[in-house]
Amino acid sequence: MTSNRVLYTLDSSLESVNTAEETAQLFASRAGFDEDNCLKISMAAREAAANAVLHGNAYDPNKKMTVAFEYTGHALVVTVTDQGKGLDLSTIPDPTTPENLLKRSGRGIFLMLALMDEVRIRPLEPGTEVTMVKNVNGNSANHNKASKRV
């Protein structure tokens, strides 16, 4: 890889969600991840970007989303931030409970946790930052668990 870190500032649009997903796929591939892990990384980036645009920024054209990709040599770190009102993690329903199984939304964070080795969510003033890590060897002490800084 020629660059270890890239940062994009994107509009609050579906096109930006697609850009985040495509860039994640490309960056993961260039970092040497296999096809399966490239797909996991790009899907997690898409979920985080969709949450930032839809729930965070509410498609507000005056608000931006930033997406950063950093390859450390040991892991790929994807960070997505929005400029929304923030996220209260305690209000997010569990998508695996019977009353939520058939809902059409509400699985984004659940999917990020399942696809990445580490997920950190922290509030900003304004907005929310989601940092996701995929280790080269796939091992992590926090595998499939959210490490939330609130």
Pairing of strands 128-135, 118-123: antiparallel
Residue 61 or residue 2, greater confidence: 61
Both tokens of 55, joined, read 């729930």
Domain that holds residue 12: 5-135
Domain-located, residue 30: yes
Quote the CA–CA distance of 85 and 128 in Å, as a whole number. Answer: 8
Number of independent structural domains in the chain: 1
Domain-located, residue 149: no
Amino acid 146 reads A
pLDDT tens figures, 31-77: 999 999 999 999 999 999 999 999 999 999 999 999 999 999 999 99
Domain-located, residue 110: yes
Residues ≥6 apart with Cβ < 8 Å to 27? 6, 41, 69, 71, 76
Domain-located, residue 142: no
CATH number at residue 91: 3.30.565.10
Residue 112 pLDDT class (50, 70, 90 cuts): very high
Mean pLDDT of the chain: 86
Q: 80 with 109: CB under 8 angstroms?
A: no
pLDDT tens figures, 33-45: 999 999 999 999 9
Q: For residue 122, is pLDDT > 50?
A: yes
Domain-located, residue 32: yes
